[in-house]
Amino acid sequence: MLGQSRIANNLNQLAIHANSGSLAVDETTIEKLEESYARVSALRDQLVAALGLPEERAR
Q: Is the pLDDT of residue 53 over 80?
A: yes
Q: Where are the domains positioned within the chain?
A: 24-59
The string of DSSP letters for the chain reads -TTTSSHHHHHHHHHHHHHHT-----HHHHHHHHHHHHHHHHHHHHHHHHHT--HHHH-
Rounded to two decimals, the pTM is: 0.63
**pLDDT value for 55:** 77
**pLDDT value for 8:** 74
The string of pLDDT tens digits covering residues 12-51 is 888 898 889 998 888 998 888 888 888 888 888 998 999 9
**pLDDT value for 20:** 93
> 10 Å Cβ neighbour count for 48?
15
